[in-house]
Amino acid sequence: MKIGALSLPTPYILAPMADLTHAPFRDLVAEWGGCGLYYTEMLNARIVASSDPARDSYCAVGTKDTPRAAQVVGDDPAVVAKAFEKLQGLGRFDLFDFNLGCSRGGPARYGWGAALLNWPDRVREILRQARSVLRAPLVVKMRIPEGEGNGLELWAERLAQWGVDAVVLHARSRRDLFKRPARWEAIKRFKSVFSKPVVGNGDVFSPEDALNMMDGTGCDAVMIGRAALMRPWIFADLSHYAQGGGVPEPPDAGAVVARYAELVATRFDEHEAVRRLRLFAFWICQNFSYGAHYFHTACRAPDLWAMVETLRGFLSRERVPDYPVRPFLM
């Protein structure tokens, strides 16, 4: 699987997830056998363009998380291009992504992310300026455009003309949020009219789902979000399964939490490490029927290591259930 000149070791990609896919988490995924491409958290173009990304923990990278994609969100063509140029200058990233998918929080309020799908001229100018500064592959991650008709086909045509090297399609519209299931048929439609690689995304909850998405839609690669937060080892399971080896026995989730804590503790101060552990614990606890109780109890622990011990006490006692994962946040 290639995007532009970049070869991915596997067609299985870790999704960008704000506050969660930081360098320590990506290294954790890598330690479990790794994926084909690791996305950063979404990076705010204004912040990257106006500060020194070399000193910004959001732009930090791990030791094993390669190849890497940096995702930028914003709406001002010059600012977005400046941000890409600075990120490229760090020499840490192999691919750059422009966010046309976010539909929550600050970016949604500013009219960034998926809202830009209503402003194609603006997107064209952003991509033109981005292309002019980038040597590495340029990708957009988008949602299904809103409204009936051929919006998806129109966007495929535009994006091919505007020089993107691949598209990640999260198969929901802006208004869907997570409230309705992903519409994989949209990935199939997009793939049938877009000549470059298409990465399918949305509701892959098991290794079997990933292969079904590829078979059913013809997409070239699969991106996994929530299931990778719940099971950072899912990419190893997926590679094993794709080679006909079945799904391996799950690891001890308590030990995975402990390793995550070690990794965040080496990169962040105590306060930030605790915040990041809470965010991860929210997801990994969702593997278990009493996960909400485990999570809330752990959040009352006085420090990072007490929190780890509490989580280990709960999680190491239980076997991780078989796939599919069932995230609360749907």
Ligand X SMILES: Cc1cc2nc3c(=O)[nH]c(=O)nc-3n(C[C@H](O)[C@H](O)[C@H](O)COP(=O)(O)O)c2cc1C
Q: At what angle do helices 304-315 and 270-284 cross, to 10 degrees?
A: 20
Nearer Cβ to ligand X, position 137 or 225?
225
- The yes or no reply on residue 15 touching ligand X (CB under 6 A) is yes
Judged by beta carbon, residue 187 or residue 227, the one nearer ligand X is 227
Cα 208 to Cα 52: distance, rounded to the nearest angstrom: 42
Judged by CB under 6 A, the residue of 44, 173, 201, 286 near ligand X is 201
Q: Which of 170, 189, 276, 312 binds ligand X (CB under 6 A)?
A: 170
Q: Could you say which of 35, 59, 102, 285 is catalytic?
A: 102
Instruction: State which residue, 42 or 298, has the beta carbon closest to ligand X.
Output: 42
Interface residue with ligand X among 3, 8, 13, 18 (CB under 6 A) is: 18
The verdict on 286 binding ligand X (CB under 6 A) reads no
Alpha helices in 66-150 (DSSP H): 77-90, 105-109, 120-133
The answer to whether residue 102 is catalytic is: yes
Contact between 97 and 141 under an 8 Å Cβ cutoff? The reply is: yes
Contacts of the segment 236-243: beta carbons below 8 A, 24+ positions apart: 236/32, 236/33, 236/34, 237/207, 237/323, 238/12, 238/207, 238/210, 239/10, 239/12, 239/33, 240/207, 241/207, 241/208, 241/211, 242/207, 242/210, 242/211
Site string for ligand X, 138-157 (x = CB under 6 A): ---x----------------
Give the type of residue at 42: M
Q: Using the rule CB under 6 A, which residue among 202, 232, 254, 291 binds ligand X?
A: 202
Residues contributing to the site for ligand X (CB under 6 A): 15-18, 20, 41-42, 71, 99, 101-102, 141, 170, 201-204, 224-227
Q: Which residues are catalytic, by number?
A: 102
